[in-house]
Structure 1
Amino acid sequence: MEQIEKLIQRKALELGYEKCGIIPVHLLEGYKEKLNERVQKVAESEAFYKGKQHLAHFEKEFPWAKSVVVLTVPQTQYKVPEAVGGHIAKSYLFDSRVDEQTKEHQHSLSLEAYMKELGLRVSTERKYGIVGLRWAAMQAGLGIIRRNNFFYSESGSWVRLEAFLTDRDMELIEKPRFTPCPKNCDRCIKACPTSSLCDAYTMNPLRCVSFLTTFSGRDLPQEPLAADFGEWIYGCDICQEVCPMNHGKWTGSEEFPGLTELAPSLTVETIMKMDEEFYRQKVQPKFFYLTPDELWKWQVNALNYMNNNYQEHFEQIILEACGSSFEKVREMAVAICKSHEIHVEKELASYE
């Protein structure tokens, strides 16, 4: 009879996963050291990495876990709509973790069901991962972590990682054949607009554009780094785009379910006009890092784009935002008016 590891791998590949590996849980122990190393290198990131500690101590919640099935899901086959290209990071545009319309999400459900049919006890966490995903994938031999901190498979860095804990002793590890980053390559570090990448394999997450436009950035009007966000509204791809190891990886041959229809609603102009019901129904479920009550943050991000890339036709939108029902939107809009001398102080006074 075929080994259970091979059965799982074969099923995963049939479903469309790029790669599948399986590691015993003891190979995850090094993740704790990596978290501590990050804090030692960037002390101010301690609170951020404290939020990741549960991934290093998963055994407290899952004492029965004996192995981890790790998988890679490429995103490079999808087309980037022109309206959002360079403004919303690709990993968020093609996120299938909670999007039931996508084949990737359905494949994940199917693989979980298949493993249970094999008699395994299985658990996963699709949004944020049940273990340290990049570390687990590297331990399984599925790829390599490069100097920009991203995990790379043959598809480059635009791959989503997925993991399932199981209650069976299993092991299926590949022998990776990846060329490491040249020691003298610092393109990603030099290109990072906010110097979040402060050294190879090191970053300050509190300075990252992706972090500041999604999880954090609760006070973007007062954020000194906001001026360095360039054209990014939600997330950032710069350190991946400049990486030579990503060159030629994006094929963009397929449509992502629903994205072509949604993309026109994600320009800076339409974000500023978006109503809360549309946001809750159409946008928030896809970009779930922001809550159903955080349309205001999208609008602050859009205003920040307008400030960084100012054009005269933005003027009326910015003035209207001065009367927004959201405090932070008003605060950002008024600051932009003063910065770009939009209208006169008399007119601004009516908004303050």
Structure 2
Amino acid sequence: MDKKAQLIHKKALELGYEKCGIIPVEMMSGYEEKFHERTQKIPGSQPFYQGQERLLKFKEEYPWAKSIVILVKPYSKYEVPESLNGHIAKHYLMDTRVNESTTEFQNSILLEQYMQELGMRTAVNRKFGIVGVRWAALQAGLGIIRRNNFFYTESGSWIGLEAFLVDCEMELIEETKLKPCPPNCDRCMKACPTQSLCEAYAMNPLKCVSFLTTFGGRDLLNEPLAAEFGDWIYGCDICQDVCPMNHGTWGGTEKFPKLEELADVVTIENILNIDEEIYKEKIQPKFFYLAPDELWKWQVNVLNYMNNHFDQTYISAISEARNSKYPKVKEMAAAICLKREIS
């Protein structure tokens, strides 16, 4: 094993990463074929994947890159506030990619600095990734991709993947001992409320609840799948929650930095009353898939929840939302009032 690779691996584990692998950039060659398989299986998903094509072209932007350092950081040690559990996906609650107050973010900075101290040039996109991270992690032997399309290690799918490009030729590949999904297991597909998981190892992202409640779903009032969102207002964990391979993998005892102070704000009861400045200052930076001017999207999602779980206690909030300054919120509230005969 290359000495620098050993040093990076040792440092990564010291900093709390679960796993660290290193592959030559040439090992990403099969990713393009797999990428295009997605759109071939589900042609309607092409608009979604067009935005991800930059991951195929990283060598054009970084011609000096010779290796990829791929890392696993688990987040299952954190506790999910009861008021948010089942409403906001755990990955978004425990997102460390841009949250500078988290140990994980600071350790990412420290690891990059360490590689630079070893004389390496580095590049990273912490927010949206610089390469196809699941494929890179698969090639590095850090785990496997299961039938719900998520990457799994011994910690289940409750992990984040992070990749650095470096200008040093190295290789550090593990051999995973994880067993594949049983061929007859279809729990994730049966549980998917919108049939986004249309077959094993494939999905239609445009039908996914996570997509439709975050950066997609701009016209939820006319979205035929909106009635199938269940309890979710931002993201969805269903296909991971029902997976037998995730059984017993969530520890959930540590407090995630600054999450408790949001737990009483981003709730079903309070989102319709959030002040725009509070949203821009405290909520949007964490849940960055929605822009600073998209508080209305949160509120439409909550109105959709209230419509799907209609209760007399929601009448006042729905009725008041007809006076919102956001056109989409007003439209959604008015439509619910008409449907539920709220005067």
Give the structure-2-normalised TM-score: 0.99
Counterpart amino acid of residue 241 in structure 1? D
Alignment of 1:66-145 (within 5 A): 66-145=66-145
Distance 2:342 2:158 in 1: 40
Q: Which runs of 5+ in 1 are unaligned?
A: 344-352
Counterpart amino acid of residue 305 in structure 1? Y
Equivalent residue, structure 1, for 2:272: 272
Equivalent residue, structure 2, for 1:166: 166
Q: Is the contact between residue 280 and residue 292 of structure 2 (CA under 8 Å) also seen in structure 1?
A: yes
Identity of aligned residues (%): 64
By how many angstroms is 1:311 displaced?
A: 1.1
Q: For each residue in 1:274-310, what CA deviation from the matched residue of structure 2 results, as whole angstroms up to 9, or x when unmatched?
A: 0110000000000000000000000000111111111
Alignment of 1:135-214 (within 5 A): 135-214=135-214
Equivalent residue, structure 2, for 1:346: none
Distance 1:157 1:120 in 2: 31
Distance 1:129 1:336 in 2: 39
**2:12 equivalent to 1:15:** no
Count of aligned residue pairs for this structure pair: 343
By how many angstroms is 1:2 displaced?
A: 7.4
Question: Matched residue of 1:235: which SS?
Answer: coil
Counterpart amino acid of residue 185 in structure 2? C
Distance 2:29 2:337 in 1: 52
Distance 2:79 2:340 in 1: 36
Distance 1:319 1:143 in 2: 49
Q: For each residue in 1:248-271, what CA deviation from the matched residue of structure 2 results, as whole angstroms up to 9, or x when unmatched?
A: 000101000011111110111210
Alignment of 1:5-44 (within 5 A): 5-44=5-44
Distance 2:104 2:64 in 1: 27
Distance 2:316 2:34 in 1: 49
**2:285 equivalent to 1:285:** yes
Question: Matched residue of 1:269: which SS?
Answer: coil
Question: Matched residue of 1:88: which SS?
Answer: coil
Distance 1:34 1:47 in 2: 17
Counterpart amino acid of residue 47 in structure 1? P
Equivalent residue, structure 2, for 1:350: none
Equivalent residue, structure 1, for 2:64: 64
Equivalent residue, structure 2, for 1:347: none
Equivalent residue, structure 2, for 1:250: 250
Give the structure-1-normalised TM-score: 0.96
Q: Is the contact between residue 300 and residue 328 of structure 2 (CA under 8 Å) also seen in structure 1?
A: yes
Q: Is the contact between residue 20 and residue 72 of structure 2 (CA under 8 Å) also seen in structure 1?
A: yes
Distance 1:322 1:158 in 2: 39
Equivalent residue, structure 2, for 1:236: 236
Equivalent residue, structure 1, for 2:306: 306
Q: 1:181 to 1:2 in 2, by over 3 A?
A: closer
Distance 1:290 1:120 in 2: 35
**2:51 equivalent to 1:48:** no
Q: Is the contact between residue 2 and residue 171 of structure 2 (CA under 8 Å) also seen in structure 1?
A: no
Question: Matched residue of 2:161: which SS?
Answer: strand
Distance 2:193 2:77 in 1: 27
Distance 2:294 2:268 in 1: 16
Distance 1:133 1:304 in 2: 33
Distance 2:212 2:138 in 1: 27
Equivalent residue, structure 2, for 1:349: none
Distance 2:89 2:192 in 1: 14
Q: How well do the aligned residues superpose, as a CA RMSD in angstroms? A: 0.9
Question: Matched residue of 1:163: which SS?
Answer: strand
Alignment of 1:329-344 (within 5 A): 329-343=329-343
By how many angstroms is 1:57 displaced?
A: 1.3
Question: Matched residue of 1:268: which SS?
Answer: coil
Distance 1:138 1:203 in 2: 19
Question: Matched residue of 1:20: which SS?
Answer: strand
Q: For each residue in 1:99-148, what CA deviation from the matched residue of structure 2 results, as whole angstroms up to 9, or x when unmatched?
A: 01100000000000000000000000001100001111111101100000
Structure 1 runs of 4+ with >6 Å offset = none
Distance 2:217 2:111 in 1: 36
Q: 1:218 to 1:78 in 2, by over 3 A?
A: same
Distance 2:2 2:91 in 1: 36
Distance 1:302 1:292 in 2: 18
